[in-house]
Amino acid sequence: MVRNTIGLRLATLGPLENADYIGLDLTLAIHDAVIPSLNHDPHPSPLLRELVAAGQLGARTGHGFLDWPAGAREATTARLAQHIAAQLQANEKGRGT
């Protein structure tokens, strides 16, 4: 399941770029929900909380872990779509369909 969802994105974006891309507010909400089950420290990164509190939500606002100049999000979307399409096509070929 993970291989055909976030796994496809992480091969292209990496974890910090992916966090910025989907929005740090969404990343924080995911961390709040998931980290207590996966980690002994039940709290998301303090840096993530600071960025969200400062309104630096990632690609949507132009700043997050990375800086997102005009056009960068669209370029990332195109790169991501191309990578995912290629991976899904390879998966289909591997199944003989």
Q: What is the CATH number of the domain that holds 71?
A: 1.10.1040
Q: How many domains does the chain have?
A: 1
pLDDT (0 to 100) of residue 40: 80
12-22 pLDDT, tens per residue? 888 899 899 99
Q: Helix (H, G, I), strand (E, B), or coil: what is residue 78?
A: helix
Is the overall model pTM greater than 0.85, yes or no? no
Those residues of the chain that have pLDDT short of 50 are 1
CA dist 24 and 8 (Å) reads: 19
> What is residue 6's predicted lDDT score, i.e. its pLDDT?
65
Query: What would the two tokens of residue 47 be?
Result: 């840096």
Range of the domain at 23: 2-95
Tell me the C-alpha distance between 21 and 61, whole Å. Answer: 10
